[in-house]
A = this chain, B = another copy of it.
């Protein structure tokens, strides 16, 4: 593998790739990515994490250039990228590139949408830029995953900044030299520690990646230069932040193999390892109906990682509930729910949920794949119901349908914008490739003042 010129080759491809060549299925998956991301951003927008970030940055904000979806047009484009990136991630409900655990849209779409409100860009060009940004992001992620992640880097932040720079650089029409600089300015800002998981800084990572990548592209446009070998140089990104470097993952099959096609959307608002359990418990609920109130015990068999990450026996808060496979199983059986309403403080403290949760047992078994689960429910009359979930709903093999994406979008957006406006936003975002600009779509997401 020729590694002399990785950054320049990637930059040239981002600049030169003809939009007309984008395969229709890739364009369609890119659109599904945008629909899912926008719903997450609107749904997360009232979260206190967003409140606090906005409270801090409002003092420094420039003109009201771009929309904080679900809130209003009140900050400059850099800060809008930051806040939408935070909001889209804060409910743990966003998209996942399962090969790297990158959440691709948070950094890339948050950056590209904010930049697009600054200039005359139509929806089709915006979508192309987002898809190319996701390619840059996920390919750079593939190059260094898993060593980079294992060392402690939150890869959505560290790789996301490249994707944001690429997408905004494409929107700005940078030439390939300036695109190389934009990637370099991104590289030298790449950051985000996994130690922050469980705190507000986890959502800061995609937000700052969006903001910093946007600034990288604008700096490059103004002639601010950087190394042109920022990814592959001995003291560049891949060598400094990872022990593994597979540059073929970045350069091979550009325009043929599409990481965007591998993007997935969470049906449930929690870590991906609990998804098989929720999926299976929902299926059992559908099968047994009211008998969920007569469950004597629930036995789960999972890969050990599932219990390591989500083995919290007695969660006290909604956030802790996301790290409890016991709570998640109980609420899926009792209410059929895995959406954000399954992870509120109130539902975690609900006596009926707690009573069932305490009858859930889990056994770790290395023979069980990480993406699978075996569930055995025993009723008080001795009846046994079993489910073996190999791949959960929302995986590449069992993707959410467009209708399921719509349902998820409504669940996130209805509480913020109401049903009528939500329907309007949803219909409009699906028409993104035909919109002459995105200003109307952005304006639709602003709630009427009370």
Q: A: which residues have CB within 8 A of B?
A: 49, 52-53, 55-57, 59-62, 65, 76-79, 118, 151-154, 157, 184-185, 187-196, 198-201, 204-205, 208, 215, 218-219, 221-227, 229-230, 233-237, 239-240
Contact = CB atoms under 8 A, between A and B. Distances in A.
Contacts of A201: 184-185, 188, 224-227
A59 B66 CA distance: 12
Given A56-B221, A200-B224, 19 more contacts: A52-B222, A52-B223, A56-B224, A57-B218, A60-B76, A60-B77, A61-B76, A62-B62, A184-B199, A184-B201, A188-B193, A188-B205, A193-B240, A195-B233, A195-B235, A195-B237, A199-B226, A201-B225, A201-B226
Given A52-B224, A56-B219, A240-B152, A230 B195 contact: yes
Given A57-B218, A60-B77, A152 B189 contact: no
Nearest to A161: B191
B59 A61 contact: no
Given A60-B76, A199-B226, A204 B190 contact: no
Copies of this chain, tallied across the complex: 2
Contacts of A184: 196, 199, 201
Given A52-B223, A60-B77, A240-B152, A193 B187 contact: yes
A152 B234 contact: yes
Given A193-B188, A201-B188, A205-B188, A224 B53 contact: yes
A208 to B, nearest CB: 7
Nearest to A208: B189
A55 to B, nearest CB: 4
The 8 closest A-B pairs by CB, nearest first: A152-B235, A152-B240, A56-B222, A55-B222, A195-B235, A191-B191, A195-B236, A60-B76
A215 B60 CA distance: 10
A192 B59 CA distance: 27
A386 B408 CA distance: 80
